[in-house]
């Protein structure tokens, strides 16, 4: 028994190994995505873009995260009354953190910030965020299969979505079981030492999991993903591409699934690879696919960095401080300037 902590310590993978691995994945993906492109064409490509459509894409993409804040607020409303400004503020800081720091700490940071500002348990904000991800997973799987009725997909992507569907089905099953069999779930967890730590999470799921709240969150989830697809379609129009909204849906879904792979901050590399692979399904010429993957990355990254920087400035704290406190939630000294 005394040796078990030592064994766990030996089995624990150092963070630097994970960071190196994620950067390696990004570098390989970026090199593969940009292969064969003649960068002397980049100036003419920039001049040919219709920037009005790019501006529309940026507006749509920023609005996506206001919808995410609304959904988060909706899930928390049965338990705590918070404001849209607070959830939006926390989300943009979290996005900034995930785009500049390794290992994507943004989800933890946004949950921590909201717990401090709203003076609510961190486990509550984390539980609501987890429900968000279950809703996203359900939508991704359903939307992907609907897209296959209109556009052809490679077997590799179909296999990947089947794996995702299995994970989502398992998580959904657990969620539904907890929601509709509270007493059984409570008895199961309370009879196990490790399970007793999660009893409060079970109660939080039950409080947030009423039909009205879940229906509202599901409706917002649809709008959340629709705006992302419209942002991609606007970028298609900026290139005068003859692709439909369904093609934009497909590219958006493949990009979302592809960037779930651990990678460098901002999903650099895997983003370009996923978008280029998605566009190749629709016979888009390789140079145009590369240019569009780079433009899409800029549109979906740089505005978020600016918005996140402003959001951090409004807290009166640095990202280093916020990250430190999020990793050590016992310290709740952060404030938010009005």
Give the tens place of pLDDT for each residue, 179-229.
666 676 667 667 666 666 666 666 777 677 788 899 999 999 999 999 999
Closest CA to 240 of 63, 60, 54, 61: 54
Over residues 109-131, the pLDDT tens digits come to 999 999 999 888 888 898 899 89
pLDDT at 96: 96
Nearest by Cα to 213 from 90, 69, 72, 112: 72
pLDDT of residue 275: 96
What crossing angle do the helices spanning 286-315 and 270-280 adopt, rounded to 10°?
A: 140
Considering the domain boundaries, does residue 8 fall inside one? yes
Nearest to 87 by CA among 117, 108, 49: 117
Q: Which pLDDT does position 1 carry in this prediction?
A: 47
Q: Residue 36 corresponds to which tokens in the numbers above?
A: 């064969």
Residue 79 lies in a domain: yes
Structure tokens at 331: 């310290």
- Asked whether residue 177 is domain-assigned, the answer is yes
Select from 307, 296, 256 the least CA-distant residue to 133. 256
3-state SS assignment for residue 152: coil
On the CB side of 25, CA atoms within 13 Å amount to 21
pLDDT of residue 9: 47
Q: Is residue 336 part of a domain?
A: no
Q: Assess if residue 334 is contained within a domain.
A: no
pTM of the complete model: 0.86
Would you say the C-alpha torsion 136, 273, 305, 251 has a positive or negative sign?
A: negative
Are 143 and 253 in contact by the 8 Å Cβ rule? The answer is yes
- Look at residue 333 and tell me if it is in a domain: no
- The residue range of the domain holding 99 is 4-327
Residues of the chain with pLDDT under 50: 1, 3, 6, 8-9, 337-338
**68 in a domain, yes or no?**
yes
What is the number of structural domains in the chain?
1
CA atoms within 13 A on the CB side of 297: 22
Cα 148 from chain centroid (whole Å): 23
Look-up of token digits 């400035």:
313
337 in a structural domain:
no
């Amino acid at each position: 028994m005394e040796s078990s902590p030592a064994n766990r310590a030996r089995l624990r993978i150092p963070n630097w190994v994970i960071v190196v691995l994620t950067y390696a994945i990004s570098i390989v993906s970026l090199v593969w995505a940009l292969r064969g492109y003649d960068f002397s064409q980049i100036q003419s490509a920039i001049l040919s873009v219709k920037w009005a459509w790019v501006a529309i894409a940026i507006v749509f993409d920023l609005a996506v995260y206001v919808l995410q804040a609304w959904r988060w607020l909706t899930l928390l409303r049965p338990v705590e009354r918070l404001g849209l400004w607070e959830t939006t503020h926390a989300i943009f800081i979290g996005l900034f953190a995930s785009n500049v720091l390794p290992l994507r700490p943004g989800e933890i940071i946004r949950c921590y910030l909201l717990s401090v500002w709203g003076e609510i348990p961190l486990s509550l904000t984390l539980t609501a965020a987890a429900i968000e991800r279950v809703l996203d997973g359900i939508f991704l799987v359903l939307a992907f299969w609907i897209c296959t009725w209109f556009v052809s997909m490679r077997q590799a992507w179909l296999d990947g979505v089947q794996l995702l569907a299995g994970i989502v089905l398992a998580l959904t099953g657990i969620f539904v079981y907890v929601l509709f069999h509270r007493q059984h779930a409570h008895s199961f967890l309370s009879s196990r030492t490790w399970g007793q730590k999660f009893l409060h999470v079970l109660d939080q799921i039950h409080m947030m999991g009423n039909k009205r709240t879940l229906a509202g969150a599901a409706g917002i989830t649809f709008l959340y993903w629709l705006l992302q697809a419209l942002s991609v379609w606007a970028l298609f129009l900026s290139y005068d591409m003859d692709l439909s909204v369904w093609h934009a849906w497909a590219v958006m879904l493949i990009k979302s699934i592809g960037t779930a792979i651990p990678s460098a901050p901002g999903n650099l590399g895997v983003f370009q690879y996923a978008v280029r692979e998605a566009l190749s399904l629709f016979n888009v010429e390789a140079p145009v696919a590369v240019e569009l993957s780079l433009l899409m990355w800029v549109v979906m990254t740089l505005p978020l960095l600016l918005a996140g920087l402003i959001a951090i400035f409004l807290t009166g704290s640095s990202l280093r401080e916020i990250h430190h406190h999020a990793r050590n939630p016992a310290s709740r000294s952060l404030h938010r300037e009005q």
